[in-house]
Amino acid sequence: MALHSDYHRPRAALPLPRPLDVARWCAGQAWPVHPLRPGAKTPAGNCPSCSERGHTTRGCPCLKQGRWCHGFLAATLDQELITSWWTHTPGFGVGVACGPARLVVIDIDAHPTPVPERKRLLPGITIDPRVNLSGLTNGFHTIALLAALRGEPSPADDESTLRVRTPSGGMHAWYRAAPGETYLCSTGSGPGRGLAWQVDVRATGGYIIAPGTRTKDGAYTAVGDCRDPAPLPSWLRLELTRTGHLASPDPAPRTPAVPPRARLAVLEAGGGLGTVGDRALRRLVADVEACHLVPEGAGFSAKLNRAAYTAGGLIGTGYLTHDTAHAILTRAAQHARPGQERRFERIIDSGLAAGQRRPFHPQERP
């Protein structure tokens, strides 16, 4: 097991891009972004109610009026909106909403805190007393220990994926979840979900700070040459499943699946679809996204319902997973009607359920 003290050595400072450029670049990677308070790691508030306990997107006018609010729930890919936000406050940091971006980030900390007892280092794993843990002091060591037990390299050493050094001496290892898989966040090795002591998981329901962002404590800087998140390694997928990070499969009924089709990733990218059903769904999703140009009277509900119904039909014949369809539709709806989650979630759920009761093959017109 390698202990990585070199991650804490100061490196020569390089000029950082403007936050607006960082936000635009992230959006270009299909990672929805939201503003962080200048010099801080926390989301930027907007209306006075943002600081009130229990304040939700429901009834809040901010997002409808094109203003940031509600942290990662306001994350967007809209370049015009991004330009507006970061032009208004150039010092905003950049947060990336992990769930819509399908990101799973292994957040490795290096805090000078007392080491807990052995059984709390790797939740669910008994570390043999003969294993020498002298010198173990932080998350770099516990994630390296977990990887060594599985015969794999540590994410901190994974040069195939985007890695970001944090101002506190930690590291973020960015990965992509497979289509249809949803992972949940966790903090350290406390009660509930946990991967390792001083190792957090940033995924659905959370956000991560974009590389190039500067806080009062320092900058988040990319390590090495890779700038693309690699697919989540199979061994980490198994560990995250074992520790309860993989969300339970959706209980919606499914008909027997047809042979797998290697087009799900293409569907999510929105291009290269050949069959009638595929083209229909792509067109309907685009119609939903286009509603952001018209605040009212665009027929948003009807268009979203039709897209969900079509996606449900594809689910029913096994050409699409429920989780992937839900993610595609949610991403489109968030773009069109940010801040109206309760409204469009009901439409998506009912449309998918109705469509699954009338499955069709992509060769058929829905």
Q: Does residue 202 sit in the same domain as residue 81?
A: yes
Q: Does residue 181 sit in the same domain as residue 298?
A: no
Output the pTM of the full model: 0.64
Q: Does residue 221 sit in the same domain as residue 280?
A: no
**pLDDT-derived band at 357, boundaries 50, 70, 90:** confident
What are the pLDDT digits (tens) for 224-244? 999 999 999 999 999 999 999
Give the list of residues 6+ apart from residue 230 with CB closer than 8 angstroms, or none. 158, 160, 161, 162, 175, 176
Q: Does residue 338 sit in the same domain as residue 196?
A: no
Q: Does residue 151 sit in the same domain as residue 285?
A: no
Residue 363 lies in a domain: no
Residue 272 lies in a domain: yes
DSSP secondary structure letters along 9-27: S-----PPPPHHHHHHHHH
Nearest-CA neighbor of 196 among 140, 145, 126, 121? 121
Residue 40 lies in a domain: yes
Residue 258 lies in a domain: no
What amino acid occupies position 295? P
Per the CB < 8 A criterion, the answer to whether 32 and 76 are in contact is: yes
Give CA–CA dist 131/113, Å, rounded: 21
Q: Does residue 188 sit in the same domain as residue 225?
A: yes
Range of the domain at 226: 5-242
Q: Does residue 65 sit in the same domain as residue 100?
A: yes
Last residue of a domain, one of 242, 272, 301: 242
What are the pLDDT digits (tens) for 260-300? 332 333 343 333 334 444 566 777 888 888 877 766 677 88
Q: Does residue 140 sit in the same domain as residue 60?
A: yes
Q: Does residue 131 sit in the same domain as residue 231?
A: yes
Residue 120 lies in a domain: yes
Count of domains in the chain? Answer: 2
- Alpha helices by DSSP H, listed for 53-211, are 79-88, 98-101, 139-149
Q: Does residue 228 sit in the same domain as residue 107?
A: yes
- What secondary structure, in 3-state letters, does 206-219 show? CEEECCCCEECCEE
Q: Does residue 235 sit in the same domain as residue 331?
A: no
Residue 247 lies in a domain: no
What is the structure's pLDDT at 331?
82
Q: Does residue 232 sit in the same domain as residue 271?
A: no
What is the structure's pLDDT at 295?
65
Last residue of a domain, one of 212, 242, 272: 242
Nearest-CA neighbor of 326 among 117, 63, 100, 173? 100
